[in-house]
Amino acid sequence: MKEEKVLDELLYVEEPTPTFGMNPKKFMLWLFIVSIVMIFASLTSAYIVKQADSAWLSIELPKVLWYSTGVLLLSSLSAQMAYRAGKQGNRKRSSAFLLITLALGLLFLAMQWMGWVDLVRRGIFFGGVDYEGNPANPAGSFIYVLMGVHAFHLIAGLIYWLIVIVMKKKTEAQQENWRLHLEMSTIFWHFLDGLWVYLFLFLLLNR
């Protein structure tokens, strides 16, 4: 009887409910990233479809975009160094690399602005008409939109870096929360870097 009771308990014991393995904050971050991917997938799809327009003209991309791409890749490297130092508990080294990443991100935005200035100088505008009153090349409008929407998200990434830099890290719980946000901001930054490389190559190959 005793053995049967033990067997019944083993057979009919209630299985523990499986818990969600990913941190909810990370899950929200990945949802946000997926939504951004969908936005740019729709924009690049519209770009390809619009190429059939008779008013479409090939545009040479500003040369400064080559350099800005290199700057953004360097920022991804410094972001990874900041994450590695933070994971090892070296807060001072991590903060130093975060500031470098922040500076490189700002430099990238400045160079993107220079790219816009170059486009305007060549008579390429967002919608409207050109200097001669002719309808503007739709290719130019797409370049402005793709660069602008990416820059908007990059500014959000820079703001996130600032938040991580100024976060308090006195108690162990605060340390753990800081490391979580450091990891999340690094993931988001790498995504933005990869997204720009994709956009840059896309524009180069689909002129």
List the chain domain ranges: 59-205
Distances in whole angstroms, Cα of residue 44 to Cα of each of 55, 142, 204: 18, 9, 13
What mean pLDDT, rounded, does the chain reach?
A: 85
pLDDT in tens, 81-138: 999 999 998 888 999 999 999 999 999 999 999 999 999 898 888 875 555 556 667 8
Please give the model's pTM, rounded to 2 decimal places.
0.84
Q: Is the pLDDT of residue 6 over 60?
A: no
Other beta carbons within 10 Å of 41 = 10
pLDDT in tens, 27-47: 999 999 999 999 999 999 999
Architecture, CATH, for domain 59-205: Up-down Bundle (1.20)
pLDDT band at 141, cuts 50/70/90? Answer: confident
